[in-house]
Structure 1
Amino acid sequence: DDAEFWGIVGLLHDVDFEQYPNEHCIKAPELLREAGVGEDMIHAICSHGYGLTVDIKPEHEMEKVLYAVDELTGLIGAAALMRPSKSVMDMEVKSLKKKYKDKKFAAGCSREVIENGADMLGWDLPTLWEKTIEAMRSCEADIAAEMDKI
């Protein structure tokens, strides 16, 4: 089932990041193979590090989406925290655009990767921003509820 496959990819895409931050997407295949994960899923997981740490190019549309939004969600999350609401629920593309253009804001979020990802998908940046904001809105309440339990 595609939804289950991509859900697992989303959950596992940073499997090596905390333990091996300087080898992100490099150590992942070893860890995932040890856990019995298939090569198609390993490719999908590791391709989001394309051009940063690995040469595994995103091929499937969902791999391209993960590649594009992994950096972008960090930037949007940082922008949300600067808002009075601390939320994406009231965020508009025009306010994100201002933050995006400021290279000092969320400087660790690669604009180059975001732009390459949009190009891979055949989308302009405002389309990618809008789709990502909408996706983040759709799960914000659930994430907040889970965080409250911690």
Structure 2
Amino acid sequence: MAKYLKAELVSVIEAIDSQGQVIGIMLISAEDWGDKAVPIIIGAAETLSIKKGLGEVEFPRPLSHDLFVEIIEALGASVEKITIDALVSSTYTATVYVKDKDGRIHSFDARPSDAVALAVRVNAPIYISENLEKYAEDLRKYLPPPSGKIAEE
């Protein structure tokens, strides 16, 4: 059975792919990975939704993830946690765990971008399989260095 590590969404950044299309790169890091994170390519719509869930952008109408959270909560359920599980045929997999009003936990297969978009809205914990560390990359490849740092010569 896979072991999971407490993780966090470090950032979601916009990029341009080789065909000139806007994409997102979701950076997920585990507590003990240091300055490394797994970069997961996501769509432009999912990037917008995650940024909205984080309060980084405004959008006048509810997005699909907002609606889903409202429905879950109206039914007396809650998102308990999400997991980033595996890389299968170049596609990352995730699971959303929902507790119903009777306390039962239900698991749902999900895209990592959808799972994270839900988690950031309800402050649900994110976990990542420790097996995915081999796909983690240096964050400096994706994020600028913190301001105020003087580069070493």
Between Structure 1 and Structure 2, which shows a larger proportion of helix residues? Answer: 1
Asked which structure has the greater RCO (Cα within 8 Å, sep 6+), the reply is 2
Between Structure 1 and Structure 2, which shows a larger proportion of strand residues? Answer: 2
- Do both share a fold (TM > 0.5)? no
